[in-house]
Amino acid sequence: MTKKTRKERLELVEPLIKELGLTPGIIELYTAEEATNEDISISNTEDAAPLSWQDAVAMLSAGKTSFAKKPKHSIKRVVFYSYKGGVGRTTALIQTAFQLARQGKRVVLVDMDVEAPGLQALLPPTGKSTDEGLIDYLWERQTCFFDEHHQPQIELTNIIYSVKDSPSRRDLFIVPAGKIGQRYIQRLSILSTAHLFSASTDPWYQFEEELWKQYQPDIMLIDARTGLNEWGGLSLLQLADEAFVVLYPSQQNADGICFVRNLLKELTGVQAKLVLSPIPEGIIGEALIKSIKPSLQLIENEEPILISYNPNIAGSNQFPVETALPYYAPLANQLLEISGIEETAVILAESNRLELIESLTFPKANAESILDTEFDFNTIFQKTADFDRFLDDSVWIIRGRKGTGKSTLYKLFTQYTEIAKKRSSGILNNIVIFSGHGVSNTFKPNADVFSDIQKQLIIDDSDWLSIWRAYALFVFINLIQNLLRLLNQQN
């Protein structure tokens, strides 16, 4: 056999494999002479990213850190990970994907929860179903020999499909893990994870290269395996440019999550964002959050993203769940903000910073000087981090000193509603906004009245929030009554 060529050896081996009813898969073995002739050498893995949690711990113990090299494409890889199952990780990934699509991003969702794949069931193809997925693609690239006579049978177009988001008219591209069955299990067991990511010619990078050439997505959302699993570790340690770690607020989750987050930060520099899900409403949820926060090892000024329990999601088998989309806006906003910072960094790197700074001009803006055109308002209104908090459905009242922007917000939401909706990342979709200003002809308090109310609130040990809630209810009832009177007049 050693005197035969590689092709001749393959021609002898392949029929034997087929006779046994097996699918042919060839591990590429070279003699020393062949390796020299083919210019093949052993790669230096000294600085490679770890391939398992054990490797990661060993590297950290040895004082090493690793940063996986970024491939030659612009796809941002975002990994959704959970230490335990059943916390809404895949739901968060899907809902975030629709939010991003509605912000103009091209998004691909990849199911790497290979031992319990479910993405295809939640986002099924509308046309012909696919019998093959990511595992089949990677298996063929890793085990089969290709030349002019042997070409890949599983192309990227065989394993990827799209679903349409009707409101944005954009496609989301889905890469399922594969169809569960005997063939899937065989191929998954054969795959060598050590040879999926280590070199630019390995199967995963072939997948990314084809994905970029054919679809050019902005963001890849990866649904990772739970726990300290091999595939979950590979997703985080090898691929994550950004990561969301989803957990229910319990001590068991906190211990595992802190280990994973710290390891990921020290080895790759990625600071995973915490997502607490699902959070019960009311005092039970507040107590859970308060009790678990000290165990989460939060960095300075870090606040976890909170996903409230929503019965519409719990009982839904169709996505997106429109009524729950606002809950996931903070995840999309995090990614959009990071993308904006990265794009700005590229622009600054290619610019003369001094000339750029000197060229900046900012119009003077206050509530009285806001011009009555959409363009001018859109130019001067600046969205801050507090904007998302303001949109939270638990907010009843906005308070602030003179000049803090209350009138600007009022004008934004009542006169320039479309601008508000664009800046709210979908939270205001299907929301009706109306002004309560000047509704009543009888209740027109002046400063003295407000002063008297303040004194009485102190005596009653109450607060202004109750007053404004009552006023909001009063305005709403008044509005309904006016509408009913108008309808009666028309009839």
pLDDT in tens, 230-260: 899 989 998 999 999 999 999 888 999 999 9
Within this chain, do residues 174 and 270 fall inside the same structural domain, yes or no?
yes
Looking at the fold, whether 293 and 159 belong to one and the same domain comes out as yes
Q: Residue 253 domain-assigned?
A: yes
* Measured distance CA(223)–CA(91) in Å, rounded: 10
Q: Does 439 lie in the same domain as 308?
A: no
Are 393 and 281 in contact by the 8 Å Cβ rule? The answer is no
CATH value at residue 153? 3.40.50.300
- Residue 398 is assigned to a structural domain of this protein: yes
How sure is the predictor about 464, in pLDDT bands with cuts at 50, 70 and 90? confident
Whether residues 302 and 161 fall in one domain: yes
461 and 313 together in one domain: no
Tell me: do 10 and 114 sit in the same domain. Answer: no
- 30 and 87 housed in the same domain: no
Does 51 have pLDDT greater than 90?
no
Give the chain's mean pLDDT. Answer: 82
Give the end of a domain, one of 294, 310, 342. Answer: 342
Spatial separation of the C-alpha atoms in residues 246 and 232, rounded to whole Å: 13
Say whether both 90 and 26 belong to one domain: no
CA gap 151, 59 in Å, rounded:
39
Is 405 found in the same domain as 313? no
Q: Does residue 348 sit within a domain?
A: no
pLDDT at position 441 is: 57
Q: Are 117 and 178 in contact (CB under 8 A)?
A: yes
Place of tokens 């001094």: 354
- pLDDT bin (cut points 50, 70, 90) of residue 476 is confident
- In a domain, residue 69? The reply is no
Q: Is the residue at 281 inside a domain?
A: yes
50 is a domain residue: no
The whole-number average pLDDT for the span 12-36 is: 67
Q: Which domain holds residue 1?
A: 1-41
Cross-strand pairs, 80: 223, 244
* Spatial CB neighbours of 182, under 8 Å, sequence gap ≥ 6: none
Residue-level pLDDT at 318 = 85
51 lies in a domain?
no
Q: Are 348 and 375 in contact (CB under 8 A)?
A: no
pTM of the model: 0.68
User: Is 336 found in the same domain as 370?
Assistant: no
Mean pLDDT of 328-348: 82
Q: Are residues 338 and 398 in the same domain?
A: no
Asked if 215 and 276 sit in the same domain, the reply is: yes
Tell me, yes or no, whether 154 lies in a domain: yes
Domain count of the fold of the chain? 3
Q: What are the tokens at 330? A: 């903070």
Model confidence at 477, pLDDT cuts 50, 70, 90, reads confident
Report the C-alpha gap between 378 and 382 in whole angstroms: 8
Report how far residue 130's alpha carbon sits from residue 132's, in angstroms, rounded to the nearest whole number. 6
